[in-house]
Amino acid sequence: MSAVIKYDAIVIGGGHNGLTAAAYLSRAGKKVLVLERRYVLGGAAVTEEVFPGFKFSVCSYVVSLLKPNIIRELMLPKFGLELLPLESTFTPLDNDYLLRTADEDQTYREISRHSPRDAETYMRFGPLMGQIGMAVRPILETIAPNAIRPSLSDLGSMKKLLNHFKTLSDEQFEYLTKLMTMSSADFLDEWFEFEPLKATMSASGIIGNFMGPRSPGSAYVMLHHYMGDIDGAFRAWGFQRGGTGAVSMAIARSAEYFGANILTEAPVEKVIVKNGRAIGVVLENGDEYQADKVISGLDPKLSFLKMVDESDLPSDFVTDIKNFRIRGSSGKVNLALDGLPNFTSLPGDGPHLRGAISISPSYDYLEKAYDDAKYGNFSQEPYMDIIFPSVIDPGMAPPGKHVMSCFVQYAPYDIRGGWNDQKREDFGDVVVNAIARFAPNIKDIILHRQVLTPADLESTFGLTEGNIFHGELSLQQLFILRPAAKWANYKTPIKNYYQCGSGTHPGGGITGSPGEMAGKKILRDW
């Protein structure tokens, strides 16, 4: 019998946050092992050749929130990080369209076609949201304190944040308060009048959450998506050359450069706990590895209700984790195409195909889509966020062919009657029909399609209930409450067992932030 190998730290899950934590620990000289269940690294940020010659960012599909200091400290460009800007946001309408681009003058002219007042307002709105986003960043970049039993360092962090908020202008504080409490629809109604503009902007407030644009709290989620940048361009969104899996691979190569050992097809069965302390893991095949620290990049449900026995946790903590809202509401449809869709309202090629395409013509359209989900059905006319990765990066598809990424809401995990093959295909048909309303040729150019329901996201990517954020970004699940009071600082009730996934502060998206801050917290605790 071979001896059990000992590491300083073991990371469960090779998603981008787990890899980020591993990279920071390795960078500090620790002996680190990453264990990934699947054959490929990346978790939800993964690129796969689903059909011969066609490469898809199967799950997560755009990048903006990846922190600049992580890019710098982990030397990610050296290992393949190359972000390409998305040029526009295009909202097709039945008899017209809305187009916003990186060119402010062009965007002003386009919005003016619909509302000169909104065009003027839009020029003020963007910078203000940018300012509020920058004002919130210190919260996102602070390890959440234990607000119930604060330590001296926790008190210091809270004082620092309080002093920061004292620097905000009255206007910034007012709008920040509104964004933390209002619906995205109500907030935008105070600014704009053109319905498709408001609906498209509000859509970022429903992504990955079980709520509609008129649901209180959706304004914060909208703000969350305003807080990224690409190469210093605040609020910019981009696509990684090679797909989002290339982001994960860049982080993995960085971790390996610093000395980490990464194993794929190595599913963890359990964390080994003795006398209230994590001492290692056992794989499904029976292999054991020991470590001084064990870090879970999985969502809170898997980290605490599967990886360890409930008897090793306080009952109130178990209750908090069971009550942690993690409802999935999203599906993904990936299409391999023989050409490009031709949108009736804006025919042919152009910048509108080199950015995001939002199927969000009105608040009522989005709310109706949400209504379907509330009553246990997928949306008959779904909201979609669409990009054409192969237009931005031709290497994603064979010459003359294209790939189309469709992020879709709503598709409830707890669908009436349960998900099955027929419902999956019906869901795919609904998505294609919704696109065909604005681009009738879509049905003629589809070569292959991949339809992923929340149940598929759960079984394939280990996302409980298919939630892409590892838990909803609702007010009761943010900062000091993510995922539970007293345990938002990446520690857990089990000594030397840590968490670093998107279910921790500051939440989801390809940010690397939970992994980075967990890694730095662990190093301070060492």
> Does some domain include residue 51?
no
Mean pLDDT, range 365-392, rounded to an integer: 96
- Greatest mean pLDDT among 56-65, 206-215, 273-282, 502-511 lies in 273-282
Kindly indicate the confidence band of residue 327, based on its pLDDT and cuts at 50, 70 and 90.
Answer: confident
Residue 223 has pLDDT above 80, yes or no: yes
The pLDDT assigned to 473 comes to 86
**Encoded tokens for 270:** 């359990």
Residue 231 has pLDDT above 70, yes or no: no
CA-based end-to-end distance of the chain? 31
> Does some domain include residue 365?
yes
SS (H, E, C) 492-503: CCCECEEECCCC
DSSP string covering 50-104: EETTEEEE-S---B----HHHHHHTTGGGGT--EEE--EEEEE-SS-EEEEES-H
* Average pLDDT over all residues of the chain: 93
For residue 504, give the amino acid letter.
Answer: T
Q: Is the Cβ–Cβ distance between 383 and 410 less than 8 Å?
A: yes
C-alpha–C-alpha distance, residues 39 and 58, integer Å: 14
Domain end residue (candidates: 461, 482, 499)? 461
Mean pLDDT, range 414-419, rounded to an integer: 95
Kindly indicate the confidence band of residue 257, based on its pLDDT and cuts at 50, 70 and 90.
Answer: very high
pLDDT in tens, 28-37: 999 999 999 9
How much of the chain exceeds pLDDT 70, in percent? 98
C-alpha–C-alpha distance, residues 428 and 210, integer Å: 20
| Contacts of 89 by beta carbon, 8 Å cutoff, 6+ apart | 99, 100, 200, 355, 356, 357, 358
Cis status, amide bond into 506, omega within 30 of 0 = yes
Q: Is the Cβ–Cβ distance between 290 and 368 less than 8 Å?
A: no
| Contacts of 254 by beta carbon, 8 Å cutoff, 6+ apart | 23, 74, 75, 76, 78, 79
DSSP letter, residue 108: H
**What's the CATH number where 490 sits?**
3.50.50.60
The pLDDT assigned to 2 comes to 59
| Contacts of 77 by beta carbon, 8 Å cutoff, 6+ apart | 71, 250
Mean pLDDT, range 495-510, rounded to an integer: 94
The pLDDT assigned to 229 comes to 47
pTM listed for this prediction: 0.95
Q: Is 343 exposed, middle or buried (0-12, 13-18, 19+ CB in 10 A)?
A: buried
Q: In this structure, are 355 and 403 located in the same domain?
A: yes
The pLDDT assigned to 241 comes to 94
The pLDDT assigned to 230 comes to 44
The pLDDT assigned to 122 comes to 95
DSSP letter, residue 312: G
Q: In this structure, are 163 and 73 located in the same domain?
A: no
Q: In this structure, are 265 and 245 located in the same domain?
A: yes
Question: Chain-centre distance of CA 174, in angstroms?
Answer: 27
Nearest to 228 by CA among 506, 37, 483, 28: 506
Residue 131 has pLDDT above 90, yes or no: no
Q: Of residues 35 and 166, which shows the higher confidence score?
A: 35
**Encoded tokens for 248:** 């994960």
Q: Of residues 432 and 178, which shows the higher confidence score?
A: 432
> Does some domain include residue 89?
no
Helix (H) or strand (E) holding 180: helix 170-181
Nearest to 499 by CA among 250, 301, 325: 301
Q: In this structure, are 356 and 407 located in the same domain?
A: yes
Q: Of residues 62 and 407, which shows the higher confidence score?
A: 407
Q: Token match 């898809």: residue?
A: 56
Question: Chain-centre distance of CA 505, in angstroms?
Answer: 13
Q: In this structure, are 317 and 417 located in the same domain?
A: no
Domain end residue (candidates: 171, 200, 232)? 232
C-alpha–C-alpha distance, residues 449 and 336, integer Å: 6
Q: In this structure, are 334 and 388 located in the same domain?
A: yes
Q: Is the Cβ–Cβ distance between 182 and 220 less than 8 Å?
A: no
> Does some domain include residue 59?
no
Residue 510 has pLDDT above 50, yes or no: yes
pLDDT in tens, 328-358: 789 999 999 999 999 999 999 999 999 999 9
The pLDDT assigned to 236 comes to 59
Question: Chain-centre distance of CA 208, in angstroms?
Answer: 8
CA angle 461, 465, 470 (to 5 degrees): 70
Question: Structural domain tally of the chain?
Answer: 3
> Does some domain include residue 93?
no
Kindly indicate the confidence band of residue 171, based on its pLDDT and cuts at 50, 70 and 90.
Answer: confident
Mean pLDDT, range 367-389, rounded to an integer: 96
| Contacts of 304 by beta carbon, 8 Å cutoff, 6+ apart | 310, 313, 317, 318, 321, 492
> Does some domain include residue 456?
yes
Domain span at residue 508 reads 5-45+65-84+241-325+468-525
pLDDT in tens, 97-130: 999 998 999 999 999 999 999 999 999 998 888 8
For residue 456, give the amino acid letter.
Answer: D
Q: Of residues 275 and 234, which shows the higher confidence score?
A: 275
Residue 11 has pLDDT above 90, yes or no: yes
Residue 258 has pLDDT above 90, yes or no: yes
Residue 39 has pLDDT above 90, yes or no: yes
The pLDDT assigned to 227 comes to 62
CA neighbours closer than 13 Å in the CB half-sphere of residue 243: 25
The pLDDT assigned to 226 comes to 67
Beta strand 5-12 with 288-296 is parallel
The pLDDT assigned to 320 comes to 96
Residue 182, phi then psi, degrees to nearest 5: -90, 170
Q: In this structure, are 226 and 274 located in the same domain?
A: no
Q: Is 302 exposed, middle or buried (0-12, 13-18, 19+ CB in 10 A)?
A: buried
C-alpha–C-alpha distance, residues 57 and 463, integer Å: 16
Nearest to 32 by CA among 291, 296, 303: 291
> Does some domain include residue 96?
no
Q: In this structure, are 211 and 130 located in the same domain?
A: yes
C-alpha–C-alpha distance, residues 410 and 373, integer Å: 6
How much of the chain exceeds pLDDT 90, in percent? 77
Kindly indicate the confidence band of residue 238, based on its pLDDT and cuts at 50, 70 and 90.
Answer: confident
Mean pLDDT, range 446-471, rounded to an integer: 96
Domain end residue (candidates: 205, 232, 259)? 232
DSSP string covering 258-273: TT-EEESS--EEEEEE
| Contacts of 422 by beta carbon, 8 Å cutoff, 6+ apart | none
> Does some domain include residue 94?
no
Q: In this structure, are 344 and 442 located in the same domain?
A: yes
Q: In this structure, are 330 and 384 located in the same domain?
A: yes
Q: In this structure, are 78 and 9 located in the same domain?
A: yes
Q: In this structure, are 351 and 444 located in the same domain?
A: yes
